[in-house]
Structure 1
Amino acid sequence: MKEKPEAKKRIVHGNTLECPVCKNDTFWMRNTLMNTRGMTFFKVEWANKEAQNYVCDSCGYVYWFIQP
Structure 2
Amino acid sequence: MGLFKKAEAQQVSVKGHQLHCPVCSETLFYQREAQLNTAVASFFNFDWANRSAICFVCANCTHISWFLGE
TM-score scaled by structure 2? 0.89
Q: Which residue number corresponds to residue 7 of structure 1? A: 9
Partner amino acid, structure 2, of 1:17: L
Identity over aligned pairs, percent: 37
Partner amino acid, structure 1, of 2:54: Q
Partner amino acid, structure 2, of 1:59: C
Q: Which residue number corresponds to residue 29 of structure 1? A: 31
Partner amino acid, structure 2, of 1:3: K
Where does structure 1 differ by over 4 angstroms across 4 or more consecutive aligned residues? none
**Distance of 2:26 and 2:46 partners within structure 1:** 37
Tell me the SS of whatever aligns to 1:9.
coil
Structure 2 portions without partners, runs of 5+: none
1:17-62 Cα deviation digits (max 9, x unpaired): 0011111100010000000001000011111100000000000011
Matched residues, number: 68
